[in-house]
Amino acid sequence: MKQLIIGTRGSSLALNQANEVKERIVSNFDIKVEIRVVKTEGDIDLKTPSRKILDKGFYTSEIEQLLNDSKIDLAVHSMKDLPLKLKSQFEISAVMKRRSPMDILITNRFAKLKDFPLNSTIGVGSLRRRLQLKLIRPDFQIVDVRGNIETRIDKMYKYNWHGLIIAKAALERLNLKEKFIDFNIKQMIPASCQGIVAVESLKNRSELKSITSKINHPQTYLNGLIEREIALTLEGGCKIPVGCYADVNNDKVNLYAYIATDSGEKFIIETESGLLEDKKEIINSLIKKMNKKGLQEILNDRK
């Protein structure tokens, strides 16, 4: 193979991710790599509030269509944007080494959450973040924000918000010099696969497998699979407030999960841990714990 085409969205973050994949390929293979920008529904529709986006393919469907038609060879996505159930012809064939999975609160005014005045205005781009933030500071006034990372930060300054929540990985990748406050895992459980860049391909493109297997980061791939399995069990999606994180250390894994009704009135936060080799049993145990706390009631609430 002498040349391949990578499809990606056109934001600076998406291009940064695609270029990381490109660099991994060209540093290991004598292949010319072209990056092709694809506009998705999520890039065109900037008015629909994130909490009302029902389609998990909002940021990926158009890219997958080109992949299906063999107009591109590989698709690069933020893994958290991918549908939890891929169409049968597709597979996640590689991932890059994970950046931070956590969320952060960008602010140039305060050093700690407790320093924010009552009724501070915070820009938030997902229902999951909104509801978990309200558990910490119920007084905060939440503003829904869409657009790429730079646009969101610009809005924070333009409208004089007190802060803005984004993924820490985005700030790291774009090397933006903003001051921020870290959320720990007990304060805010991240979206499934947050901080992971995924490479998607057609299963029948066997000639690509030697490339994708070479650039894949196995530890991150395992993290992603575990988190997607939990999220799928919890019926996670863009609109549905679900978070999960798999913290793998050597032969042990710690699982964290969050789910809530859309109003946030009912919610469950649960953890489970054990040996990595028993991950299936640990996931099942986590779900059983959540069932005892009313998981089915929350799932029924949104039907």
Residue 136's pLDDT is 97
pTM, full prediction = 0.93
Note the CATH number of domain 103-182.
Answer: 3.40.190.10
Phi, psi of 50 (to 5 degrees): -55, -35
d(CA 141, CA 167): 20
CA distance 222 to 49: 32
Query: Which among 21, 23, 27 has a CA at the least distance from the CA of 8?
Result: 21
Residue 232, pLDDT > 80, answer yes
* pLDDT > 80? residue 59: no
| Averaged pLDDT for residues 100-125 | 97
Tokens encoding 147: 């657009």
Among left, alpha and beta (phi > 0; psi -120 to 50; other), residue 264 is: left
Q: For 261-298, write each residue's pLDDT tens digit.
A: 999 999 999 999 999 999 999 999 999 999 999 999 99
Q: If pLDDT is split at 50, 70 and 90, which confidence band does 58 have?
A: confident
Question: In CATH, what class is 3-95+196-216?
Answer: alpha beta
| Structure confidence at residue 54 (pLDDT) | 47
Q: How confident is the model at residue 51 (pLDDT cuts 50, 70, 90)?
A: low
Please tell me the distance from the alpha carbon of residue 289 to that of residue 295, in angstroms, as a whole number: 9
Element (H, E) at 285: helix 279-292
Burial annotation 122-139 (CB, 10 A radius, 16+ → b, else e):
bbbbbbbbbbbbbeebee
How many angstroms separate the CA atoms of 156 and 151, rounded? 9
For residue 216, the SS3 value is coil
Spell out the domain ranges in the chain. 3-95+196-216, 103-182, 233-301
pLDDT band at 40 (very low <50, low <70, confident <90, very high): confident
- Identify the H or E element spanning 139: none
- Assess whether the region 3-95+196-216 and the region 233-301 belong to the same CATH fold: no
Q: What amino acid is encoded at 204 in this protein?
A: N
Domain at 233-301, CATH homologous superfamily: Porphobilinogen deaminase, C-terminal domain (3.30.160.40)
- Please provide the DSSP assignment of 186-214 as one string: TT-PPPTTTT-EEEEEETT-GGGHHHHHH
Q: Position 199: which residue type?
A: V
SS3 of residue 150 by DSSP: helix
Write down the pLDDT at residue 56. Answer: 61
The strand ranges marked E within the chain are 3-8, 32-37, 74-78, 90-95, 103-106, 121-124, 141-144, 163-167, 180-182, 197-202, 242-249, 252-260, 267-275
pLDDT digits (tens, 9 = 90+) for 193-220: 999 999 999 999 999 999 999 999 999 9
